[in-house]
Amino acid sequence: MANRAVLDRERSLIQQQLSEFEAKREFMKDRFERGEPWDPQYIDYLGSPAKEAELARKLRGIDAITARLNDAGQPDAYLIGFSTDGDGRAIVSVGNPDTADNVLTYVPGTGEQLSSAGGGLNRADEMAEDAALEAGGEITSVVYWYGYDAPDSIPAAGRESYAEDGGPILDRFQSGLRATHDGESPSRNTVLGHSYGSTVIGHAARGSDFDADAVVFVGSPGVGVDHVSELTGVHADQVWATTAKHDVIGLVPDWGSTHGKDPSEADFGARVFASDQGSFFDMTGAHSAYWEAKNSARENIAMIVTGQAG
């Protein structure tokens, strides 16, 4: 409830700022059309288009979150964390993780911002639906966890600093999920990272106290280590990975010098599961195709999340 109050407040503030930008623009346009001289009062407007565009993007993300929270036709959603600072932050669960039998934390990767929260929430809904089909009556909650500063670009994703900063935050979040669970027995907690999100998980899972029963790496550039045994926070037989044959991430040289070895390669030691190969003619699209309808990765992820994959 507190986070929803913050969400509503931030939306009002952003909408007010956008309205002020619009008023300034109309004022300047009117002065120009009348041939009046420049008004020094509006000199700050020279740098405002980029700021206005940023606010509009954040508003789009806020509206997507609000729409999902208020969607009575979907399972209940809960706003666990929210901020508009920087690129923004959003943590939203589909279903109640405090009472679910299975809890999946989904960590997005490069380019994630508050403005793209709608896409992340769609993936969370899809994974929750997939798990429900496989769970045999068990309840699964899926958490969209955009709780760290994700790289804004591919070159930036070559740096480990984002994962070094994000890993401890994810570690604390997972500990919180375990501490607040109200069920008669502990939930099965899985953490899934897509793209750079897997690198964040790798940094979190190095600690022996990482609260996860399984981790899943999807389209990973590397998870910061060269072998599954270095992820001491999770049992080696519950480290899973997949990379589509035509995923553009496969073009990154596997030299182990940036983020470690590709976790979907045999010498890493993870349990590799199948996903559709994607299109050779759209390798960038293949990087995000794991959640497309009928992609074999979806069923396999559901089986892992619900503990039926062994």
pLDDT tens for 114-164 read: 999 999 999 999 999 999 999 888 999 999 999 999 999 988 999 999 999
- Taking the mean position of all CA atoms in its chain, how far away is CA 194? 8
Query: CA 249: distance to chain centroid?
Result: 17
Note the pLDDT tens digit of each residue in 87-114.
999 999 999 999 999 999 999 999 999 9
Mean pLDDT score, 209-234: 96
Beta bridge partners of 103: 141, 189
The whole-number pLDDT of residue 24 equals 78
Q: Which fold has domain 76-305?
A: Rossmann fold (3.40.50)
Residues 290 and 298 sit within 8 Å (Cβ to Cβ): yes
Query: What does residue 193 show for φ and ψ, rounded to 5 degrees?
Result: -120, 130
Which residue, among 132, 59, 83, has the nearest Cα to 301 in the 3D structure? 132
Structure-block tokens of residue 310: 């062994």
Q: How far apart (Å, rounded) are the C-alpha atoms in residues 204 and 211?
A: 10
Name the pTM for this structure: 0.93
Q: Does residue 46 carry a pLDDT above 60?
A: no
Question: Domain spans of the chain?
Answer: 1-70, 76-305
List phi, psi (to 5°) of 113. Answer: -140, 170
Distance between CA 122 and CA 128 in Å, rounded?
10
Residue with tokens 């939203």: 92
Q: For residue 36, what are the contacts with CB-CB under 8 A and spacing of at least 6?
A: none
Reported residue count of the chain is: 310
The three-class DSSP label of residue 102 is strand
Distance (Å, whole) CA 299 – CA 217: 15
The pLDDT of residue 252 is 78
